């Protein structure tokens, strides 16, 4: 069998395999969260998310709102040096993010097995 015939068989098999994989995965809500940062943020987003009294007080101020919290839980960076600390029956995570106005914020979230609780929102002032 010549090279171009083997290559044609390879391409036909590759296209059929890609088609089968696309059909199998198309209807499912699959995510590829291989990195620790993405896995933690995905876990926090999929659980019921509650707000502590201190976090609710910060949200009543005009510099941060719930959309900023959701964006930080989607695109934020987890500080693993300060996170994964057992606290109150869950694990505490420190997440850095930004508001819509570009101000940097830090979220303190306690991740329980059945829920996630936002403990505090800290405004990070940049020194000039």
What are 56-79's pLDDT values in tens digits?
Answer: 999 898 889 999 999 999 999 999
Q: Where are the alpha helices (DSSP H) in 27-106?
A: 36-46, 53-60, 66-75
Quick one: which H or E segment has residue 8? helix 3-26
CA distances from 110 to 30, 92, 102 (A): 26, 4, 25
Domain boundaries of the chain, sorted by first residue: 1-30, 34-124
Mode of pairing for the β-strands spanning 104-111 and 90-98: antiparallel
DSSP code at position 75: H
99 contacts 68 by C-beta, under 8 angstroms = yes
105 contacts 63 by C-beta, under 8 angstroms = no
pTM as predicted: 0.74
Strands (E) across the chain are located at: 49-51, 77-78, 85-87, 90-98, 104-111, 116-124
How many C-beta neighbours within 10 Å does residue 95 have?
Answer: 22
pLDDT in tens, 4-24: 899 999 999 999 999 998 887
Examine the pLDDT at 30 and tell me if it is beyond 70.
Answer: no
Question: Would you state the pLDDT for residue 127?
Answer: 52
């Amino acid at each position: 069998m010549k090279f171009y015939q083997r290559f044609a068989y390879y391409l036909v098999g590759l296209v059929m395999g890609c088609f089968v994989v696309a059909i199998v995965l198309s209807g499912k809500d699959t995510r590829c969260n291989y990195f620790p940062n993405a896995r933690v943020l995905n876990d926090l987003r999929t659980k019921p998310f509650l707000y502590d009294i201190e976090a609710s007080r910060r949200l009543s101020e005009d510099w941060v709102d719930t959309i900023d919290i959701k964006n930080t839980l989607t695109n934020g960076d987890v500080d693993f040096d300060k996170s994964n600390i057992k606290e109150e029956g869950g694990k505490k995570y420190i997440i850095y993010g930004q508001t819509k106005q570009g101000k940097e914020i830090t979220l303190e979230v306690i991740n329980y097995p059945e829920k996630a609780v936002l403990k505090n929102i800290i405004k990070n002032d940049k020194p000039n």
